Every structure is written in C-alpha cells, then in structure tokens.
Amino acid sequence: MSPPHEAFWAMSRWQLPVLPLLLAGVLSTLGAQAIPPPPESFDGETIRCQRAGSAATVLICRDAELTAIDGQLRQAFRRLRDDASLKQPEREALIEDQRRWVETMDQCWRAQENLRTCVKASQQQRLRQLEALAMPRRLMPGSNDGGKGCRG
C-alpha cells in the first residue's frame, strides 16, 4: 500500500487546480450562513414591525422606549420629506439616506456592546441628524411653516 501523500500527487492535472476552488466554495458557503440576510424591514420611512427580520428591528418592535423613539424618527423624517420646499433630487437622496441608515442600524447585532445600547444610540443620532436638516428649512420663507420662520 502506498503512502497517502503519493495518492495526492497522483491526481491528474485537472484535479489539482480544482481543489482550491472547491475549498474556497465550501468556505464561502460557511461564511455566508453566518451573515444574516439583507434587511427587509424598511418601509420608506423607518422600520416595519410587520416584517421584523433583523435583531435590531425585532428589539425596537418589542421595546416601548425604542418604539417611541422610532415614532419620533418617523415624524421627523415625514416633516422633512414632505416639506414643499424640498426639491425632488433632495427628497430622493433623503429617502436613500434613510434606507441606508436602517441597513446600518440593522448591523448593530455585530456591535461589541449591548444590542439595545447600539440601537438606541443609532436612533438618537439619526433623530438629531434629521432635526438638524429640518432646522434651516423651518427658517426659510416658503417652507411648511407658511413662511413664518421664527416669527411664530
């Protein structure tokens, strides 16, 4: 009986190059199973609890405080998106940015810290961003405030 290493070297020329490809395919399949599917929880404004797929979305839908913050996010986003002075390219960019934010927040499961801490921090940061974007628009004549600006 010949030693095992001789059997390896006895492979035909076509089998040897295929071996690394086969190994790479197996390893990539194993890695893909560890990564959750892309989020389907974006409803065009924020998360959609009816299709809660990610750990972050499930957490938000089950946690009263995070649900309340999500409601504030939804309102802030709607106010900004529905502002009559917002041009269509800006509106489309805002919606795309919001979708990307939801995808990023859905990655909180990877955080070293507590999932809830990561989600809440992400929500609060996004709320501040939306409010900061809306602030100059409130002061502009012709925005949703009827042109009153700071005059009340």
pLDDT tens profile 120-139: 999 999 999 999 988 776 55
pLDDT attached to residue 10: 52
User: Whose structure tokens read 């560890």?
Assistant: 34
Residue 38 has pLDDT above 90, yes or no: no
Q: Give the pTM.
A: 0.61
Mean pLDDT rounded to a whole number for the chain: 72
The residue type found at 107 is Q
Residue 4 has pLDDT above 60, yes or no: no
Which residues sit opposite 47 in a β-bridge?
Answer: 42
CB-count burial class (<10 Å; 0-12, 13-18, 19+) for 60: buried
* pLDDT of 111 over the 90 cut: no
**Please, are residues 135 and 76 in contact by the beta-carbon 8 Å criterion?**
no
- How many Å is the Cα radius of gyration of the chain? 25
Please check the confidence at residue 13 and state whether its pLDDT lies above 90: no
Least-confidence region, from 16-25, 80-89, 103-112, 137-146: 16-25
